[in-house]
Amino acid sequence: MKLPPRKDLFNGVAWIIVEFGFTPKDILSSRKYARFAVQKIAYLLHYLKVDGFRDLTFNLYINGPYSPELADIYFELARKYPDKIHYFARHFRLEPKIYTIVKWFMRKRYWWMEIATTILMIHKRYPYINVDTLYRLVKSAKPWVDREAFDKVYRSLERVRLF
């Protein structure tokens, strides 16, 4: 079977879909949770410089980091290769340390992943800002984030040494 260009990314996106237990129907659904979760884990893999994901471009959108190129890939998988997603996923591997972080991240709630990926994105762009400034930037992008939620997520990210 001939894989599309950037097969490492294609396989990686399939792996995220499979690891979450999503189906092509979930990706194509009008409910956005599956697509949201794929975007957040893909951003984490991008942040961790995993092959295939490091070259994706993400912008900060209302729900955190978002990549239109990534969206094209998961829609292509769901529409053109619904019966091959597990096959593609089997060809993707993560280093054990990164796998552990990703699985930990996947168990978090929607709001937590949104805050976490926003923190990581801002931190990546401004690695030397202090935590108070980081909070103000997150708050300006996400007015619903209070200091308690921010601190909880920030401390979790620190504990797993994501910065």
Share of the chain above pLDDT 70, in %: 97
Distance separating alpha carbons of residues 113 and 105, to the nearest angstrom: 7
Residue 72's Cα: distance from chain center in Å? Answer: 15
Residue 90's alpha-carbon distances to 8, 12, 100, in angstroms, are: 11, 9, 17
| Mean pLDDT along residues 112-141 | 96
Please give the average per-residue pLDDT across 75-86, as a whole number: 94
Provide the pLDDT for residue 30.
Answer: 83
Summarize pLDDT for 47-72 with one digit per residue, the tens: 999 998 998 999 998 888 999 999 99
Amino acid symbol at 75: F
- pLDDT the model gives residue 41: 96
Quote the pTM value. Answer: 0.92
pLDDT for the residue numbered 153? 98
